[in-house]
Structure 1
Amino acid sequence: MSLGSRIFRRERLDRYLETDKNFIKTMSAFDLISLGIGAVIGTGIFILPGTVAATKAGPGIILSFVLAAIVCSTSAMCYAEFASALPVAGSAYSYGNLVFGEIIGWILGWALILEYVLAVAAVSSAWGAYFQSLLAGFHLSIPKAISGPFNPSQGTYGNLIAILIVIFISWMLNHGMRSSVRLNNLIVAVKIGIIVLFIIVGAFYVKPTNWQPMLPFGSKGVLSGAAAVFFAYLGFDAVSSSAAEVKNPKKNMPIGIIGTLIVATILYVGVSIILTGMVSYTKLDVADPVAFALQVVHQNWVAGIISLGALAGMFTMMVTMIYSSSRLIYSIGRDGLLPHFLGKLAPNGSPRNSMITITIVIAIMGGFVPLDQLTNLVNIGTLIAFLFVSFGIIPLRHNKEIQNNHGYQVPWYPVLPVVSGLLCMLMLSQLQAETWIASGIWFAFGLILYFSYGMRHSRLNRS
């Protein structure tokens, strides 16, 4: 068999379904929306509407969020069809293996590892910083040596809080998916409650004159703002990794993915309307615009609650991403492209080995490595997955094994999937050259790993 034939061999859906049947199906559509909102709504909702309004869009930030949501919804609908037709673990990695071939699946899996690991590591580090600020409010502190990434010149040797929160979330997820989902749902409810509290309190201090002019930067400002806030919506794709653990996935997966985007859009637009109505957009280019606006109208007590909302937002984001990354690593191990022990399930239906492995990696990254310059790589990993999932709808529809899919299907086929793929390419073109160089190194290393280990140990090629 030629090299090309080997690396482009496609997996069979029935084999994936047989392997993944040991997962316990416990999750409902509500649980999926909660997971999705946990990933999409983080601290950005308290920052982006203000800073992007001040620098790019003015009150037109409201339209920017709507426009970004429309762009994102094209990819979301493509994910929804894949998740409905292929209810297996592994998200875009497994989809790539099934419709494009193993090498494409590996590249997508490698892109998603980049997204999940860096996203959680960066957020765990930020969570540690927020938690230390909260402790400072009670006149408590932790030693400086264990309060930041490894940087002896600054007197820090590791971020203990970042390491502990990652370990705690992984322990919680390993302990039982049902109880973990309940806790996640509760914290997401608290987070949404805090956002709604800001909207209700802030509504009493809105001055319509602050919305004039609505488009101080013109329509170009709205487009520029949409490009800037587009990345705020990323994370809904993590919902698709849970397909093997969902009750009635053909119905619930599309509801979870598209429902996440709808709820997130309502929250982002709501905060944008109130924030730009409370304070002139010209004053919002600050580190914490929502808290700043509340202080301007002398509602400091709500500003204090916002910091709890930020902690809750980061916590649920880490829950979703650690959960998703463990299912991704399980899927790659299941196929033999990574060591086989990663693809085994514990008696309780949890991929314990992959969870422990990814926890160690994330804890080291979040606790010891400065990630400020690397977080843009999260965007490139996500957009590459979006790109292939969008164009992948076309071969999916022609796949004989799954032509009897009676679940959700993307409307306006094939125009919408093609438009979605082109929009992803447009967003990729907006990323900085440094991001492309760093990602090129990451993908080069991934290909070396595939050809030296994955291809030889692949379950597909061994069969």
Structure 2
Amino acid sequence: MAGLRMGQGVLRRKPIELIEEGPPGEQLTKTLGLWQLTAIGVGGIIGAGIFALAGAVAHDTAGPAVLVSFLIAGVASAAAAFSYAEFAGLIPKAGSAYTYGYAVLGELAGWFIGWDLLLEYTAIVAVVAIGISGYFNFLLAELGAPLPAWMLGAPGTGEGHEIDLFAALLCLFIAWLLTLGIKSAARFETVVVVLKVLVVLLVIVVGFFHINTDNYTPFFPFGVSGAFTGAATVFFAVFGYDAMSTAAEESRDATRHMPKAILYSLGISMVLYVLACLVLTGMQNYTEIDPESGFSTAFKSVGLPGLANVIAVGAIIGILTVMFTFMLGVTRVWFSMSRDGLLPHWFAKTHPTRHVPTRVTWIVGVGSALIAGFLPIGEAAELTNIGILLAFVVVCAAVIVLRYREPDLPRTFRCPGMPFVPALGVVFSIWLITFLTWQTWLRFAVWLLIGLVIYFGYSYRNSKLAKTPPARDGQSAP
């Protein structure tokens, strides 16, 4: 029964048939088609994993087995992707995992996931900005005009002002782009994603002819456990479809297009990841791979500095799409939570002509800029993973619960292998969580405690469900 009251308030859940788009001034424009959605998904997945983290994980954690790291993370991600696809076709509204959890597991679960994603997605934007910064520094150095340490890539080094100014400015640029309106922003995203895929294909094709198979030995220099630890680190590079699914309300035909876009984007991305990892670790011994600009330095090492510069430019342009997708995601989650009354309603207002949540977009832009400016990439990356993995646990569990609770709901896509596939997503996600450091757990626990204080101090009393009369037996709440 929806709308449960005192003693059971945190279990109240929003019936699927009552999930609405909001009154005028709180609505999003439906402009996105299948391939625009797929481009946003691919834009969110491909980028940081290839251009920023593949080199770092190969050098420090897994060696050539970085390929295995991506495959492990990909299997867990695919199990969750099927669950997201079922929900996306069933509940085509803004909010993604937050909305799914709210509808199936109750308000507290929805709050938990929504609050979690506010931090995780914002941190991902910052991680990617730092990754671009490394390639930008490489490119300028090749041109003989490197920026000073205090301005670029200095956080954590103890040098100068210790601020990555370039990464911070990138975050603000993406925020500005998103405030222009979803149609204009999505057009930019689609064009840049195409350019990025072409650069990745160029890397794979040219790099294939410079592979030295001796570099694959030893394949597990850090042991098999190194590959699993690497999987926990690169996991955030094999999702992005979840952030894309937050834009369901802006799709022209979400029930049909969203499930396809989720699966298409993950499939395309995993093929490119596997091939790119084979090329990177085959061209250069893992001990010599540059953790910050792996592919550019790999091509330079085989006498192709010109192509290295092209790759650096492609990385800078291409990784922008990852920032776009996840900043889009966090703003839509925040917007949806505010429209439901779990956060102040002021945040749910959209621009009168562009119909996008400009208020939360600028707040996220500033927040991600601060993280990108002052945290090293390793700490920022670990900050993202635990929350996303827990979100996957909730979504995979919720799709099982809803399938058996309401089997006759009109689903345009059904997760195969029920309940084993989503259960596999739960197990893999929990397993990967165990490889994260205690510092990551500590940061997450602090963020969760802050969220619980806000929920019981504000959200519990101010949510729309709290103000909805309880349903009578056999009836839905109004």
> How far apart, in 1, do the equivalents of 2:283 and 2:219 lie?
14
Q: Which residue of 1 aligns with 2:97?
A: 92
Q: Which residue of 2 aligns with 1:83?
A: 88
Q: Which amino acid aligns with 1:81?
A: E
* 1:304 counterpart = 2:298: no
> How far apart, in 1, do the equivalents of 2:135 and 2:281 lie?
25
Q: Which residue of 1 aligns with 2:359?
A: 353
Tell me which of 162, 166, 172 is aligned to 1:167. 172
CA drift at 1:313: 3.2
Tell me, what secondary structure is at the counterpart of 1:460? coil
Identify if the C-alpha distance between structure 1 residues 286 and 353 changes in structure 2 by more than 3 Å, giving closer, same or farther.
closer
Identify if the C-alpha distance between structure 1 residues 445 and 63 changes in structure 2 by more than 3 Å, giving closer, same or farther.
closer
Tell me, what secondary structure is at the counterpart of 2:179? helix
CA drift at 1:214: 6.0
* 1:385 counterpart = 2:388: no
* 1:7 counterpart = 2:5: no
Q: Which residue of 2 aligns with 1:187?
A: 192
Identify if the C-alpha distance between structure 1 residues 87 and 306 changes in structure 2 by more than 3 Å, giving closer, same or farther.
same
Q: Which residue of 2 aligns with 1:177?
A: 182
Report Cα offsets for 1:43-69 as digits up to 9, x if no partner: 431455455456665555444433432
CA drift at 1:379: 0.3
> How far apart, in 2, do the equivalents of 1:184 and 1:366 lie?
21
> How far apart, in 2, do the equivalents of 1:383 and 1:113 lie?
14
Conserved 8 A contact 1:145-1:155: yes
Report Cα offsets for 1:59-116 as digits up to 9, x if no partner: 5544443343222100111111111111010111111111111111000011101101
What are the equivalent positions in structure 2 for 1:19-98 lying under 5 Å apart?
A: 19=22, 22-46=27-51, 48-50=53-55, 52-53=57-58, 59-98=64-103
> How far apart, in 2, do the equivalents of 1:426 and 1:152 lie?
32
> How far apart, in 2, do the equivalents of 1:127 and 1:58 lie?
22
What are the equivalent positions in structure 2 for 1:137-148 lying under 5 Å apart?
A: 137-140=142-145
Q: Which amino acid aligns with 1:360?
A: V
Q: Which amino acid aligns with 1:352?
A: T
TM-score normalised per structure 1: 0.89
User: RMSD of the alignment, in Å?
Assistant: 3.0
Identify if the C-alpha distance between structure 1 residues 18 and 274 changes in structure 2 by more than 3 Å, giving closer, same or farther.
closer
Conserved 8 A contact 1:203-1:274: yes
Q: Which residue of 2 aligns with 1:247?
A: 252
CA drift at 1:134: 3.8
What are the equivalent positions in structure 2 for 1:316-331 lying under 5 Å apart?
A: 316-331=321-336
CA drift at 1:391: 0.4
Identify if the C-alpha distance between structure 1 residues 286 and 142 changes in structure 2 by more than 3 Å, giving closer, same or farther.
closer
CA drift at 1:285: 6.9
Q: Which amino acid aligns with 2:385?
A: N
CA drift at 1:346: 2.4
> How far apart, in 2, do the equivalents of 1:54 and 1:133 lie?
18
* 1:460 counterpart = 2:471: no
Report Cα offsets for 1:102-159 as digits up to 9, x if no partner: 1110000111011012121333344345435544554556677655789997442755
Q: How many residues are aligned here? A: 462
Q: Which residue of 1 aligns with 2:235?
A: 230
Identify if the C-alpha distance between structure 1 residues 299 and 415 changes in structure 2 by more than 3 Å, giving closer, same or farther.
same
> How far apart, in 1, do the equivalents of 2:326 and 2:52 lie?
21
* 1:373 counterpart = 2:370: no
* 1:204 counterpart = 2:206: no
Tell me, what secondary structure is at the counterpart of 1:462? coil
Tell me, what secondary structure is at the counterpart of 1:4? coil
Q: Which residue of 2 aligns with 1:123?
A: 128
Identify if the C-alpha distance between structure 1 residues 300 and 383 changes in structure 2 by more than 3 Å, giving closer, same or farther.
same
> How far apart, in 2, do the equivalents of 1:368 and 1:322 lie?
19
Tell me which of 310, 334, 338 is aligned to 1:333. 338
> How far apart, in 1, do the equivalents of 2:58 and 2:157 lie?
38
* 1:416 counterpart = 2:418: no
Give the percent of matched residue pairs that are identical in Structure 1 and Structure 2. Answer: 35
Identify if the C-alpha distance between structure 1 residues 10 and 121 changes in structure 2 by more than 3 Å, giving closer, same or farther.
same
Return 5+ residue gaps in structure 1 as ranges. none
> How far apart, in 2, do the equivalents of 1:363 and 1:167 lie?
7
> How far apart, in 2, do the equivalents of 1:142 and 1:174 lie?
29
Return 5+ residue gaps in structure 2 as ranges. 469-478
> How far apart, in 2, do the equivalents of 1:362 and 1:76 lie?
26
Identify if the C-alpha distance between structure 1 residues 277 and 429 changes in structure 2 by more than 3 Å, giving closer, same or farther.
closer
> How far apart, in 1, do the equivalents of 2:397 and 2:309 lie?
45
